[in-house]
Amino acid sequence: MANMTVNLKVWRQAGPKEKGEFRTYTVETDTDTSFLETLDILNEQLVNNHEEPIAFDHDCREGICGMCSLYINGHPHGPATGATTCQLYMRRFKDGETITVEPWRSAAFPVIKDLMVNRNAFDQIQQAGGYVSFNCGGAQDANCLPISKVNADMAMDSATCIGCGACVAACKNGSAMLFVSAKVSQFALLPQGQVERKRRARAMVKKMDELGFGNCTNTGACEAECPKCIKISNIARLNREFIKAKCSD
């Protein structure tokens, strides 16, 4: 552990309709402190100085919930690969470095305050079709389900998406295709997801378009910045699911 001092250049915005600006704060921390803990230290400093603390989202702080959606030095969740902001430690930065911290930049994720954005758009897409209908009685033995290990593994990999929105923040078009494709894939690959398969693809894509997300141009930035390393091969699967569903109308 080594002590260090950093300058945090943070986006401050009092509300959705207010004009925002960057403000720079100097914080003393150490290399073993997480980035969110450093923000906590800064907020204690601000409160002690009778200033408004910085609003930012966080919950589990274990890389599970996806709430810690910060854009750090031009990267969603920061410079660490395959990690969320809460898994980012200050040893990734240099002593005396200026670190720029912003909220997600997307029309579909409007700023609530400071570094907090409204990601309800993802919830609406999920509600449009991200579920399965089946009898929830006695659970079958897993070995009785007719599914290959390959499909089971791909479905599980897709299901690791935590809906943080990093894919949207990384995309130059603000596309949500990686998120939607992961949610469609996790069910399309399993027997339980077949009942709503066609309706799900149509409904979730329709809702995504209604909410103003941009189009996918396959630059791959979403996959590169995703903290759960969701593959863009899911987008190809979503396109196939959607075309099959439209052709069956």
pLDDT-based confidence at residue 136 (cuts at 50, 70, 90): low
As a whole number, the mean pLDDT across the chain is 94
**Position 189 pLDDT exceeds 90:** yes
Task: Give DSSP secondary structure letters for 44-83.
Answer: HHHHHTT-PPPP---S-SSSSS-----EETTEET-SSTT-
pLDDT-based confidence at residue 192 (cuts at 50, 70, 90): confident
Task: Give DSSP secondary structure letters for 104-152.
Answer: ---TTS-EEETTEE--HHHHHHHHHH-------SSPPPGGGS---HHHH
**Position 218 pLDDT exceeds 80:** yes
Mean pLDDT of 132-152: 76
How many of the other CB atoms lie within 10 Å of CB of 147? 13
**Which architecture characterizes domain 3-113 according to CATH?**
Roll (3.10)
Stretch among 104-118, 137-151, 170-184 having the lowest mean pLDDT? 137-151
Mean pLDDT of 106-135: 91
pLDDT-based confidence at residue 121 (cuts at 50, 70, 90): very high
- Has this prediction a pTM greater than 0.85? yes
Q: Where are the domains of the chain?
A: 3-113, 119-247
pLDDT-based confidence at residue 142 (cuts at 50, 70, 90): low
pLDDT tens digits along 69-107? 999 999 999 999 999 999 999 999 999 999 999 999 999
CATH superfamily, domain 119-247, is Alpha-helical ferredoxin (1.10.1060.10)
